[in-house]
Amino acid sequence: DTLNQLAQGTNSADKTFSLGKIILDAWPIMLPILCLSFYAIYLFISKLFSYNAALKNTDSLINSVTNSIEKGNLDAAQNACKANSGIVPAMLNAGINKLGRPVDEVEKAMENAGKLELAKLEKGTSLLGMIASIAPIFGFIGTIVGVIMIFYKISLQD
């Protein structure tokens, strides 16, 4: 019972467990964890929206570009690609620009355009990995500090 009281940071008159008090007592460790958590959630949601935006309306764009190319109207196909943003329009536009050249050259141009667009979408995602590496360290530090405080309070009781 005494160990429980020491772990909770309460005196003998107050035997209730208070998670809020523990969080307030541990704010130097909890604040960075909370900030990292909110930032990771923000990054995740923003990247989710940007990925969804990059992939929307691709079917109608592909149909429009295909119809324009079949009719021989390359300008309309390029304009349709330029009117949209994302990986698919950039790849299609790169392919249209290389029409009439060897297939390998067209494929390489489309692949390079896709890689460039993907790099734009992935910008900032390395921060998620860094946060995933740093946040547990704060948790371990908090645990160690808590254990040290418990043993210190036990040593004061003797």
**Residue-level pLDDT, tens digit, the chain, 158 residues:** 444 555 555 554 455 667 777 777 778 888 888 888 899 899 889 888 888 877 777 888 888 888 888 888 888 888 888 888 788 888 888 988 888 889 999 899 999 998 998 888 888 788 888 888 888 888 888 888 888 888 888 888 86
Residue 118: Cβ within 10 Å count: 13
pLDDT on residue 112: 93
- Three-state SS at 110: helix
CB-based burial of residue 100 (10 Å sphere; 0-12 exposed, 13-18 middle, 19+ buried)?
exposed
Q: If you ran DSSP here, which 8-state letter would residue 10 be given?
A: -
- The whole-angstrom separation of Cα 154 and Cα 148 is 10
> Rg of the chain over CA atoms, in angstroms?
29
The answer to whether the beta carbons of residues 88 and 62 sit under 8 Å apart is yes
Report if pTM > 0.85.
no
Please provide the distance, in angstroms rounded to a whole number, between the alpha carbons at the two ends of the chain: 15
pLDDT per residue as tens digits for the range 83-120: 887 888 888 889 888 888 899 998 999 999 989 988 88
Q: Which two tokens stand for residue 33?
A: 């964890």
The answer to whether the beta carbons of residues 50 and 120 sit under 8 Å apart is no
Instruction: For residue 132, give the amino acid letter.
Output: A
